[in-house]
Structures are given as C-alpha cells and as structure tokens.
Chain A
Amino acid sequence: MEYLLQQVINGLTLGSVYGLIAIGYTMVYGIIGMVNFAHGDVFMIGAFNSMILFLVMGSLGITWVPLQLLVVLVLAVIFTSVYGWTVERVAYRPLRGSHKLAPLISAIGMSIVLQNYVFLLQGAKPKPLQSLLPGGIQLMQTEDFVVQLGYMQIIVFATTIVLMYGFWKLITATSLGRQQRSCEQDMKMAALLGVNVDRTISLTFVMGAALAGVAGYMVTLYYGSNDFYMGFVAGIKAFSAAVLGGIGSLPGAMLGGMLIGLVEAIWSAYFAVEYKDVAAFAILVLVLIFRPTGLLGRPEVEKV
C-alpha cells in the first residue's frame, strides 16, 4: 500500500512532464491538423539547455539555489522556444498547401537533424547531473518503507500547476488565445478577419516549445540524466498522452499525461520494467482502436 502510494507520487511527477510535452502536440495538431514530429526532440533540447545552463551558472559561482532554479528556468524556456519557432519556419510554413505527406516528411527530417545536432555536439554518452536539492518530506513511515515526496517533486508539481493556470488564462482570456482558437476553427476565415495566421501558428509552436522546455528543465532537475535519444521515446509517449486525452484538448493532454505517467510508474513497479515503454505504446494503439477521439476529445465530422 505504501509502495503503491510512492509509485503514484512518482507517476504523477512523470505525468506532469508528459502532460507538458503533450500540450505542445495537441496545440499544434489543433491549429494545423498535423503531428509535430520534431516536438520530442525540442523537449530533449530543452533538457540539454537546462543542463548546460546549470553547469555554466555553477562555474560562474552562482550557487544560491532559488536564484539558480529561476534563472535557468527562464533562460532555458527562451532558448528552447527559438527551436520551436525554427522548426515551424523551416519545416512547416513553406509547405502549407503542399501535398499532404510533404510537411510530415520534412518534420521527421527536422527531428533527425535535431537529434544528430545534439549527438554530434554533445556526444552519445548520457550526461549525469548532480541533484541540486536532494531529500524531501516523509509522508508516511512503516517499519520497512518510507513514502517520500521529494523537494524536486514539489517543485515539479508547483511549476506544473502554476503553468497550467497561466496557460489556461492565456488561451481563454487573451486576444492571442482568441486568435489561436479562431485559426483552429477556420484558418481562411480568420485570415480574412485580419488575424495574422502565420504569426499565430508561429506563436503556437513557440508556446508548445516553451512548455517542452519546461518539461526538459524538470527532467534535468528530477532525473538528472540526459542523452540525445531521450526525446524520441518521450515524444511517442507524450503523443500517446495527447491522443488518450483527446487530441486538440488542452485539459485532455494534461489528463492523458498523468494517466500515462501513472501507468508507467505502476507498470515498472509491479511488472517488467523493461517493457514500460511498450505498455505506453500499447495504450496508444488500444485508444486508437476503441476510442480514437480520446477521453475528452470531440468527434471529428468529416467534410465531404
């Protein structure tokens, strides 16, 4: 029972990460109707950016932890967002209106480029980073097991909740959010009404990348081990989360992320840990078979 509780905490931590990445998938899918294949790699780059920033800050002698945490978060998000912008500008925008496979192929090309960019510059070995804030609060204690909520986990949860609130406000209550939703509904009409569609789509990619950057930051903080290949599997799982929650739905993406995180943590604890990735993938396939619209998604009406 205590063990299960610990796994739930770990699963929700992991789920927050997946959820943040999944929002990027779901927003881009909502607005241009396409999977952003490079999104997982943008997350990976976010993780690397955070890691390098922590290292550099450390070597500059800035060691007060709260300052480090805040500065790295802000800078990592900015640097990672630029990657999101670039992916859209290079791989998607010139191909709007081309045949339907073209943007998918260029995006997968982009994903390969990003992976190898990091591989060539930073090498193939996983990079371990020492934990900034070890320890945590003991929630429960029995004779042989301690349920612990790590400080890092608290930071992860707090950041996720604050971000989700801010993001929700951004989408529902600002003019940017309105423009974005109008582009989702009907891009042509939005353009005719004076919405700058190119800019709105760019901003969608930037927002997605910013959240992926935060996810990368959290992973660096919490797990402290990055490699150039980490975006690939995380991307597939986050996409599964987006589909499970209902693609196009923001709360769905977060919910799906949490569920996938929980499944993964519990699966690793009670079944074969090597197959945890396969379990997440199996969920994707099952959802596609039985409920392609996901938990919170609306059915798509085909235009004939």
Chain B
Amino acid sequence: MTAGVPLLNVEHLTMRFGGLVAIDDVSFAAQSGQITGIIGPNGAGKTTLFNCITGFYKPTVGRVALTAAGETHLLERLDGHIIAKTARVARTFQNIRLFPGMSLLENLIVAQHNKLMRASGFTVLGLLGLPIYRHAEVRAKELALDWLRRVQLIDLADQPAGSLPYGGQRRLEIARAMCTDPVLLCLDEPAAGLNPRESAELNELLLGIRDEYKIGILLIEHDMSVVMKICDHIVVLDYGRKIADGGPDAIRKDPAVIRAYLGEDEAA
C-alpha cells in the first residue's frame, strides 16, 4: 500500500437534484486493504454517493480520484461503464441486479466481458473459432467456477440466476463484482434481508476478500453489528452531510452520530 495517497479520495462532493441537495460537500478517503463503512439514517445520501463514485450520476461539484498502480483516474468525469472497465471499480446494488434469465455461470462470465472481448479479437477471431479465444474462455470459466465454489453456489452453476433464493442472489452479485477484477468494491447493503447465519457468512466472505486481494471495500450497511465488527473505518452521513469519520470505537462514542440516530431529545 502506498502510504499517503489513498485508493479513493472524495473531495467536496456535492450532488443536487433540482432544489434538493442529496449530498452536501462530502470529503473522505478510503484505503486499499481496508473496509470502509458508510452509514447513516435513511435518506442520508449513501446510495447517491455510490452512484456518484460509480458514474451513474454526474456530481454537481467535487472530485473523486481513484489511485491504483500509480495511476489516478478522476471518476467524476467518466461514464459508468468506463469506470468499471478502466478504473476497475465494481459495485453491487441495493435491489439486486442480476441477469435473472442467464445461468449463474453466465452471470460471472459476462462480468469478464472486456477481457474476453479482447481475447475474441472483438468477435472476429472468436467467430472463426481460433484457439486463442477458446483458451481465454476456459480460463474465464475456471475463475468463475472458483468464485461459485467460494460463495457455495457451485451446485447450481447451470441454473438461471433468477431461481436463486435471496441470500444466494446477494452472494452471486458479490462474486460477479469480484470477477471483474476490481481495485475498489462498492457494496450497497449486502446484508439486507439476510438471516443471522447468512449475515455471519457474509462477514467472513468480505474479510476474506479484503485480506486475500488487498482491495478497498466500500460498504453501505444498516446493521450496526456488521458494521462495527468488520469495518476498519467508518464514515457517517446525515442529510447529505458528513458528520463523523473514524474507527469503529470513535464512531460509537461520537455525540453527533448518537444524535443523528437517536434524535435530539434523547441524546440531550
């Protein structure tokens, strides 16, 4: 990890929709090899923040810089698919977005689209059936199968993704994001709707990804037990503003955070 230059640096990010200010001058940094939690009450602007980082929204003001392997990308200038392709930021969605009609394996192969496109000579070589593409496809399939094993879905590999139960869909979406070989993984409420056992497994999975791949993880989560257990660093948003930023212990004691969650009166 290069000290000093963080993986993701968000500076003075502001997002307005007409008159509504969804994010107001938010700055924070996230490091490689760390899980950065983003928490806050409903409507605090967490998902909007994700959408700005991953290029689905163009921020009104501010800078989002991603530095990996000595290269810096200014994400606020790029389109979503370019961010995923060149800056290698992967994400999941709050309301899961799989390709429901395609098999689990296909879902993970589509995630390796750009790599395979190059190998298939942008379709021309692939159409001719050259071995260079066949080999690339075999490797892509192996990677996909590895991930399916890891998220315990290997037995269902040829089933349509839409037939998976909820927890399986969440895991598959994470596996799919990881198949893009990201440097930053953005997870939007991955534990929502999971039972306690599944939630615990998810924690293991995320810690495993962090330690093995040394990538940065941004995590939006409502479940405080998950957040406090696995996050190395927490950013708290309220009404689009950052109200706290620090380690789990500091956040737990922060008066502004307590006020935001419990309300003015109870805290006083």
Contacts and interface: CB of A to CB of B under 8 A. Distances in A.
A301 B20 CA distance: 13
Interface in A247-304: 301-302, 304
Contact of B93 (A301, A302, A304): A304
Classify the secondary structure of B's interface with A: mixed
A304 B47 contact: yes
Contacts of A302: 56
B51 A304 contact: yes
A49 to B, nearest CB: 43
A162 B47 CA distance: 47
A301 B93 CA distance: 17
Contacts of B17: 301
A252 B51 CA distance: 31
A304 B186 CA distance: 14
Contacts of A304: 47, 51, 56, 93
Interface in B35-79: 47, 51, 56
Contacts of B51: 304
Interface residues of B, number: 5
A304 B22 CA distance: 15
Nearest to A99: B101
A302 B47 CA distance: 13
Interface residues of A, number: 3
A45 B102 CA distance: 43
A301 B51 CA distance: 12
A302 B56 CA distance: 8
Nearest to B93: A304
Classify the secondary structure of A's interface with B: loop
Interface in A155-177: none
A240 B74 CA distance: 38
Contacts of A301: 17
B186 to A, nearest CB: 12
Nearest to A301: B17
A177 B51 CA distance: 34
Contacts of B47: 304
B112 to A, nearest CB: 22
A54 to B, nearest CB: 49
Contacts of B93: 304
Interface string B93-124: 10000000000000000000000000000000
A299 to B, nearest CB: 9
B41 to A, nearest CB: 20
B133 to A, nearest CB: 31
Contacts of B56: 302, 304
A157 to B, nearest CB: 36
A304 B47 CA distance: 9
A292 B17 CA distance: 18
A106 to B, nearest CB: 20
A301 B17 CA distance: 9
A301 B22 CA distance: 13
Nearest to A302: B56
Nearest to B18: A298
B20 to A, nearest CB: 10
Nearest to B54: A304
A304 B97 CA distance: 9
B23 to A, nearest CB: 14
A304 B17 CA distance: 15
A229 B42 CA distance: 54
Nearest to A298: B18
A298 to B, nearest CB: 8
A101 B56 CA distance: 24
A225 B9 CA distance: 67
A304 B96 CA distance: 10
A111 B137 CA distance: 45
A97 B17 CA distance: 29
B89 to A, nearest CB: 14
B22 to A, nearest CB: 10
B104 to A, nearest CB: 21
B19 to A, nearest CB: 13
A135 to B, nearest CB: 52
A43 B122 CA distance: 47
A223 B51 CA distance: 53
A304 B56 CA distance: 8
A301 B47 CA distance: 14
B81 to A, nearest CB: 13
Which are the 6 A-B pairs with shortest beta-carbon distances? A304-B56, A304-B51, A301-B17, A304-B93, A302-B56, A304-B47
Interface of B: 17, 47, 51, 56, 93
6 contacts: A301-B17, A302-B56, A304-B47, A304-B51, A304-B56, A304-B93
Interface of A: 301-302, 304
